[in-house]
Amino acid sequence: MQFAKGDETIVKLTMAQMNHFHTNGFFFMPNPFGEERMREIEQVAVENEDKWASTDWPNGLNKLACQFLMVGEPILKIVEQPQLVEIAKRLLDCKQVHVGACGLGDALKAISQSQGPHRQVYWHADGGPDIKQVSFRTGLDRHDPTNAPLRILPGSHLRAREEIWEELLQLEIATGQHDFSPKELYTKHPAEVETILDPRWTLVWTPSCWHATGVKTAAGPRRAMGWNYFPAGGRKRDVEALKYIFPDEWENWNDERKQLWGLLD
C-alpha cells in the first residue's frame, strides 16, 4: 500500500468538491486515515481472512458489516473522526448524522457466493433522489481496470430511477446480445466514469448514484472499506450487527458514540 507518509491527514472540504458531489454524486480526497491506521486495518483483515471466509454470521446480519466492526476500536475511531463527520454534515446540510451502513472486505466475493461465479456487479442504485447519504470508500487494494473498478453514472442520483433504468436498458438491448428484455444491466454508458480506486485516495460519494463494476479479470484481492452517514431518519442497516459484535460494550458507550452509530432513537 503506498500513499503519503504520516498520520491522519487534515482534510478540508472545498466548495468545488461540494459542488462536484451535489452535481455528479462523488469526489475524491487524499486518504485521510494515515499509513499507520491503514496498516493496522489491513493487518486485521489479513489475519482474519480465512476465519471470516468460513464464518456464518447470524441470519440477517450483513457479512461485510460484521467484518468491518470486528476490526474494533481502530475502525470505530476512523468513522468517528470529527473532520469526516463534519464533512458529512456539510454535504448533507444537516446538524446530525449517524452511520447507517458499513462494510469491509471484498464485496464481489460476497456477491459471487449468492449469485454464482459473477465477476461483476450490475447497474443499480442503493437509494434514489429522495435518499440523502454520503459514503466514504477506501480501497485496501488498487481497484484498477482489471480489478472490477467501480463505475459511476454522474448525476444519476438526481434523476428518477425509472428514467435511468430505461436508459441503461436501451443501451443493453442495443448490444444485440439479448433474446428477451434483460433483468441485469452491465453495458457501458457513454457518460459513466470508471473510477480507479487507489488506496492513496478516498472516494466520497452517494450510493444513490447509479453504479456498477467492471469485470474482474485480475487475480488477487479486491478489498475495500466503506461506510455511509445518513441524516436523522435515514437508514440504520447495521445496528444489530453492531450489538452482536460489541455485546458487552455498546450499552456503556457515551451518548455521542451511541448517537453516531445509530443506537439512539
Residue 86 or 126: the one with the smaller Cβ distance to Fe ion is: 126
Strands, sheet with 97-105, edge to edge from the N-terminal-most edge strand: 26-30, 201-205, 134-139, 224-231, 97-105
- Total H helices, total E strands in the chain: 9, 8
Q: Least distance from C-beta 40 to Fe ion, angstroms?
A: 27
Residue 11 or 226: the one with the smaller Cβ distance to Fe ion is: 226
3-state DSSP assignment of residue 123? coil
**Per-position x/- string for 68-107, each x denoting binding to Fe ion as judged by CB under 5 A, each - no binding:** ----------------------------------------
Does position 111 interact with Fe ion (CB under 5 A)? The reply is: no
Among the candidate windows 122-130, 134-142, 157-165, 198-206, which touches Fe ion by CB under 5 A? 122-130
Cell 440504520 locates to 236
Residue nearest to Fe ion (CB): 126
Residue 165 or 250: the one with the smaller Cβ distance to Fe ion is: 165
- Would you say 235 and 101 are in contact if contact means Cβ atoms under 8 Å apart? yes
- Would you say 123 and 211 are in contact if contact means Cβ atoms under 8 Å apart? yes
In DSSP notation, 175-194 reads: TS--SS--SS--PPPTT-EE
Does position 126 interact with Fe ion (CB under 5 A)? The reply is: yes
3-state DSSP assignment of residue 219? coil
State the Cα–Cα distance between residues 224 and 211, nearest whole angstrom. 16
Q: Least distance from C-beta 20 to Fe ion, angstroms?
A: 20
Residue 40 or 126: the one with the smaller Cβ distance to Fe ion is: 126
Does position 8 interact with Fe ion (CB under 5 A)? The reply is: no
Sorted by sequence, the CB contacts under 8 Å of residue 65 that are 6+ apart come out as: 101, 102, 103, 237, 238, 241
Q: Least distance from C-beta 241 to Fe ion, angstroms?
A: 18
Total residues contacting Fe ion (rule CB under 5 A)?
A: 1
Footprint of Fe ion on this chain (CB under 5 A)? 126
